[in-house]
């Protein structure tokens, strides 16, 4: 039986042995190069097929990615690896070079990263809206007001329980803006910081019979598990815009720029936009998102 260790250590005599040794050495080197390439994620076709998507828990919890990602993978041959966190963390991961493309919903933060050239080519994908939900008995009486700012004032004045995501996500950043515009610094036992994604925060609010701010898509997707009704909606301040951005290849050595751009282009393509516009209609009798590729924020008219 062939013993590679004996072969390399003692060698084989004769020309045939030399030819076999050279052939085996070449095969071994090719194998080792492949292993190294796999290890550092930069060599060979299989590694370049992987695309890391840094996104928010709301896109994940709504179920939209469960529809879009298989379509993209089948169409492109790429494989998406999803990292679902708050928007602040999603943007930070992309800026550090730990993602190839970002799909998030915090316009002011996004524009900051684009200005710093950490992220490139910001394009609108879709929007839905945020809503304030809370106990059926509505102890803060927020159902009687039309604006989110007036609602958070009533919640603070009545010291009614409010669950904040507390995770620097797009949702959390909007919530902080509402408190700031209301002239309130929320603190006390009534104000609960979950430090969790949207789905988990909804669960905590439901368990505590508390108010919270949520995107409509996640709320509808998890409606069977949440007994808290929508109490405030329709305020323009609650618009929830999602954008896709490519990661600057200068952020790190392992960024799959081509794969990231392919996914970003896919999201704003006409076919994908049609899929987004129909997502949720059959189950909820209304779409969870409105597609807006090619538009600017000032053109949305909502």
Counting other chains too, the contacts that 2-10 makes at CB distance below 8 Å and 24 or more residues apart are none
pLDDT beneath 70: ranges in the chain = 1-47, 301-302
**How many DSSP H helices and E strands does the chain contain?**
14, 10
Domain span at residue 25 reads 4-40
User: Are 234 and 135 members of one domain?
Assistant: yes
Dihedrals phi, psi of 145, to nearest 5 degrees: -110, 165
User: Are 63 and 91 members of one domain?
Assistant: yes
Residue 119 near residue 249 (C-beta atoms within 8 A): no
| 193, 220, 238 - which closes a domain | 238
Q: Considering Cα of 82, then 86, then 87, then 90, what sign does the dihedral take? A: negative
Q: What is the CA radius of gyration of the chain?
A: 25
| 238, 264, 283 - which closes a domain | 238
Which tokens is 114 given? 């684009």
pTM of the model: 0.75
- Residue 47: predicted pLDDT: 54
Cα dist from 193 to 58, 190, 223, 242, whole Å: 18, 10, 22, 24
The strand ranges marked E within 172-238 are: 191-193, 211-215, 230-232
Q: Which residues fall within 8 angstroms of residue 195, CB to CB, at 6 or more apart?
A: 165, 166, 167
Q: Compute the distance between CA of residue 109 and CA of residue 41 in angstroms, rounded to an integer.
A: 30
- Residue 119: predicted pLDDT: 97
Q: Compute the distance between CA of residue 186 and CA of residue 180 in angstroms, rounded to an integer.
A: 9
User: Are 59 and 112 members of one domain?
Assistant: yes
Which tokens is 234 given? 């329709």
User: Are 54 and 203 members of one domain?
Assistant: no
User: Are 167 and 257 members of one domain?
Assistant: no
- Residue 14: predicted pLDDT: 43
User: Are 247 and 210 members of one domain?
Assistant: no
Q: What is residue 255's DSSP assignment? A: -
User: Are 262 and 287 members of one domain?
Assistant: yes
User: Are 35 and 51 members of one domain?
Assistant: no
In sequence order, what are the beta bridge partners of 128? 240
User: Are 225 and 140 members of one domain?
Assistant: yes
pLDDT tens profile 42-52: 334 445 899 99
- Residue 86: predicted pLDDT: 86
Q: What's the domain count of the chain?
A: 3
Instruction: Give the CATH number for residue 288.
Output: 3.40.190.10
User: Are 254 and 182 members of one domain?
Assistant: no
In sequence order, what are the beta bridge partners of 192? 163
Strands 239-247, 119-133: pairing is antiparallel
Q: Compute the distance between CA of residue 63 and CA of residue 224 in angstroms, rounded to an integer.
A: 14
Cα 173-176-178 angle, rounded to 5 deg: 110
User: Are 123 and 141 members of one domain?
Assistant: no
Q: Which residues fall within 8 angstroms of residue 78, CB to CB, at 6 or more apart?
A: 49, 50, 51, 72, 259, 262, 263
Strands 50-56, 79-85: pairing is parallel
Cα dist from 157 to 23, 160, 173, 194, whole Å: 81, 8, 21, 21
| 196, 215, 238 - which closes a domain | 238
Which tokens is 235 given? 């305020």
Q: Considering Cα of 135, then 137, then 139, then 140, what sign does the dihedral take? A: positive
- Residue 272: predicted pLDDT: 98
User: Are 23 and 117 members of one domain?
Assistant: no
């Amino acid at each position: 039986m062939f013993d590679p260790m004996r072969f390399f250590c003692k060698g084989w005599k004769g020309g045939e042995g030399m030819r076999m040794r050279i052939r085996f050495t070449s095969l071994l080197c090719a194998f080792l190069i492949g292993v190294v390439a796999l290890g550092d994620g930069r060599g060979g076709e299989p590694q370049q097929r992987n695309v890391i998507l840094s996104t928010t828990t709301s896109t994940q919890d709504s179920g939209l990615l469960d529809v879009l990602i298989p379509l993209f993978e089948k169409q492109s041959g790429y494989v998406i690896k999803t990292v679902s966190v708050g928007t602040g963390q999603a943007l930070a991961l992309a800026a550090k070079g730990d993602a190839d493309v970002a799909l998030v919903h915090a316009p002011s933060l996004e524009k900051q990263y684009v200005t710093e050239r950490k992220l490139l080519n910001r394009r609108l994908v879709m929007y839905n809206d945020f809503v304030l939900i809370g106990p059926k008995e509505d102890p803060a009486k927020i159902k009687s007001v039309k604006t989110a700012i007036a609602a958070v004032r009533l919640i603070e004045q009545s010291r009614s329980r409010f669950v904040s995501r507390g995770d620097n996500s797009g949702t959390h950043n909007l919530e902080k803006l509402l408190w700031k515009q209301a002239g309130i610094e929320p603190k006390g036992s009534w104000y609960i910081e979950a430090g969790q994604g949207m789905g988990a925060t909804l669960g905590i609010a439901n368990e505590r019979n508390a108010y919270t701010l949520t995107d409509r898509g996640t709320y509808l997707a998890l409606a069977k598990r949440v007994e808290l009704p929508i109490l405030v909606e329709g305020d323009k301040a609650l618009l929830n815009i999602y954008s896709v951005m490519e990661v600057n290849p200068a952020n790190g050595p392992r960024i799959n720029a081509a794969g990231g751009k392919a996914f970003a282009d896919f999201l704003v393509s006409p076919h994908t936009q049609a899929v987004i516009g129909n997502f949720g209609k059959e189950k909820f009798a209304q779409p969870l998102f409105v597609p807006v590729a090619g538009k600017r924020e000032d053109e949305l008219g909502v």
